Chain A
Amino acid sequence: MSGLTANKTETNVKLPLSFIFLGLVSFVLSQWIFLIHSDALTNGIFRLPQILMGAHLLLLGWIVMIIMGAMYQLVPVAFLTPIWSEKLGFVQLIVTGVGIGLFSFLLGFNISHAVYGAVVVIVGILLFLFQILMTLKKQEEKNVLTLFVGGALVCFLITIIAGLTLAWSIAFGSSFNYTATLHSHILLGVAGWFTLLIFGFSYKLVPMFSLSHGFKMRGSKLAFISYIVGLLLLILSFWLDHSSLSTLGWILLWVGFSCFTLDILEILKKRLKKRLDRPFMFSLIAIGFGWLIHTAVVVLRLVHFQDERIWSWLVFLYIICWVMFSILGYLYKIVPFLWWTYKYSSQVGKISVPLLKDMVNEKLGVTLFSLFTFGTFGLTISGVLQMDIAVQLFQAIMLATSIAYLISIVQVIRK
């Protein structure tokens, strides 16, 4: 038997929770901004400064902050190594939080100066990347999770460099290919950074939450290689303006996503826990949405579908139905775990403590997840059909649901 005496891998709960609550506030703010400017959504004007402000509050303020918070909790347990420096984590929290707030505000109200906010965001993100790099260096045995997380972090780095280049060109002008940089920025940020990270952590979390055993994860390496090559081909196609490369790139992303989906199906098939938690099921449904969106993109590419508005709504669906729904579901597992660990971990074995599922209102969660799904599809359909009142109505549902979601998470830490 190879043994070790138990070592501490838990992070100070204040660090991930601070990221998560800042993220939730950004989420509500982004939905409020989208409601105020719903006419721009109706008309498909996604590059309006206020929409850019809302989009960056959603992507950076909500999703990136949540991911950072979740990684401060998940990396130590998934990689069996403590965070390199918690003090650096708190510094990074302040720098990134201030940077995202400043950057989003400048995008909306003084876009020519947004580059200054972007620089602060980048400093915060570089501190995070340094922190994770130093933590991963301490990991003794590298595995498939290391591959996905490493790939995601590289994509994240290139995304922010491209983002800074864009902000720089808006402020000072330049002669480089703006459209190709913008497309690379969106692709690597959304499909590279977010998707590879969700792939990696799902390979760890899905077996854990379903208590699965005896699965092989045969498709994991092919999923990684196919997705990375697909991303590279798409970036090349943006810069060379090459249609066939683009189609091949989308097909490879679909192959990668399909391999991942098949692996997850195998994991679920071999699960011992037959009744899965509802919030976790929402994250699994998000995988189905992600696969359907990848399939739709490939089909639209093959038939040379060109309508830019529809493509913009597909990017929206990809961000909301795949990335955001995954995170919404996992957060209903992560926050109760964080708070339970803080409040009850030291009481295990001494007194009777609640179970993790007792920490969160699952029934309310199901209602909220249903409303998010209803709101997102309603918003997309009414946006595509340019029905202004309906767009407003569905965006109001999204705002109300995001506020209720925030409250439901706050209720966890009152238990």
Chain B
Amino acid sequence: MSLYEQVKEALYTVIDPELGINIVDLGLIYNMEVNDNNDVKVTMTLTTPGCPLHDSIVGGVESAIYFLDEVGKVDVQLVWQPAWSPEKMTDKARAMLY
């Protein structure tokens, strides 16, 4: 499995503790890059700018990626534009909210 795939899989283990849904299905991950040095850059958002779980989720993303042996540096960029919207969720996530 490529490092890109491993990182993606690791992100599924980061769960929003309020909703009980992983951040990938929630649509919080906007972009993911792995360069030749195995440095990982993740661009992500949160459902709302004042989210109290801000530090926990961002820290969780860093930890989950650093957990992989081959990874070099990890850079998590938190962005508010474009803002998160429900359309970014997967059907699985939507179903879990009902």
**Contacts A3-B43, A10-B55, A204-B50 given; does A274 touch B98 at CB 8 Å:** yes
Contact with A along B59-87 (1 / 0, CB 8 A): 11111110100000001111111100110
A165 to B15, CA, bound (A): 53
The segment out of A339-347, A371-379, A393-401 that lies at the interface is: A339-347
Q: Is the CB of B55 within 8 A of A8?
A: yes
Q: Is the CB of B64 within 8 A of A349?
A: yes
Among B19, B47, B50, B82, the residue within 8 A (CB) of A77 is B50
**Contacts A1-B81, A2-B79, A6-B76 given; does A356 touch B14 at CB 8 Å:** no
Q: Does A348 contact B (CB under 8 A)?
A: yes
In the complex, residue of chain B having the shortest beta-carbon distance to the beta carbon of A2: B81
Q: Is the CB of B80 within 8 A of A2?
A: yes
**Contacts A77-B50, A272-B94, A349-B14 given; does A4 touch B19 at CB 8 Å:** no
Residues in B neighbouring A341, C-beta threshold 8 A = 52-53, 55-56
Among A1, A209, A344, A349, the residue within 8 A (CB) of B43 is A1
Residues in B neighbouring A350, C-beta threshold 8 A = 63-64, 67
Q: Is the CB of B78 within 8 A of A3?
A: yes
Contact with B along A287-308 (1 / 0, CB 8 A): 0000000000000000000000
Q: Does B5 contact A (CB under 8 A)?
A: no
Interface centre among A204, A211, A345 (most CB of B within 10 A): A211
A207 to B75, CA, bound (A): 29
Residues in A neighbouring B6, C-beta threshold 8 A = none
Q: Is the CB of A1 within 8 A of B63?
A: no
Q: Is the CB of A6 within 8 A of B59?
A: yes
Segment 1-36 of A: residues with Cβ below 8 Å from B = 1-6, 8-10
Closest beta carbon of chain B to A350's beta carbon, Å:
5
Q: Is the CB of A345 within 8 A of B55?
A: yes
Among A73, A275, A348, the residue within 8 A (CB) of B60 is A348
Contact with B along A65-102 (1 / 0, CB 8 A): 00000000110011110000000000000000000000
Closest beta carbon of chain A to B80's beta carbon, Å:
6
Q: Is the CB of A4 within 8 A of B97?
A: no
Segment 5-57 of B: residues with Cβ below 8 Å from A = 10, 13-15, 17-20, 30, 43, 47-57
Q: Is the CB of B78 within 8 A of A208?
A: no
A356 to B56, CA, bound (A): 12
Segment 226-274 of A: residues with Cβ below 8 Å from B = 272-274
Q: Is the CB of B78 within 8 A of A355?
A: no
Q: Does A45 contact B (CB under 8 A)?
A: no
Q: Is the CB of A345 within 8 A of B94?
A: no
Interface centre among B30, B43, B52, B64 (most CB of A within 10 A): B52
Residues in A neighbouring B20, C-beta threshold 8 A = 355, 357
A273 to B51, CA, bound (A): 16
In the complex, residue of chain B having the shortest beta-carbon distance to the beta carbon of A8: B55
Residues in A neighbouring B3, C-beta threshold 8 A = none
In the complex, residue of chain B having the shortest beta-carbon distance to the beta carbon of A1: B79
Contact with B along A349-389 (1 / 0, CB 8 A): 11001111100000000000000000000000000000000
Q: Does A218 contact B (CB under 8 A)?
A: no
**Contacts A77-B51, A208-B51, A348-B14 given; does A5 touch B76 at CB 8 Å:** yes
Question: What are 22 of the A-B contact pairs (CB < 8 Å)?
Answer: A2-B80, A3-B43, A4-B79, A5-B76, A6-B54, A6-B59, A6-B76, A77-B50, A77-B54, A208-B50, A211-B19, A211-B47, A337-B53, A341-B56, A345-B55, A348-B63, A349-B60, A353-B17, A355-B17, A355-B20, A356-B18, A357-B20
- Other A-B pairs beyond A3-B43, A77-B54, A348-B15, 18, CB < 8 Å: A1-B30, A1-B79, A5-B76, A5-B77, A77-B52, A208-B47, A208-B52, A211-B19, A213-B85, A272-B97, A273-B19, A337-B53, A344-B17, A348-B60, A349-B59, A350-B63, A355-B20, A356-B18
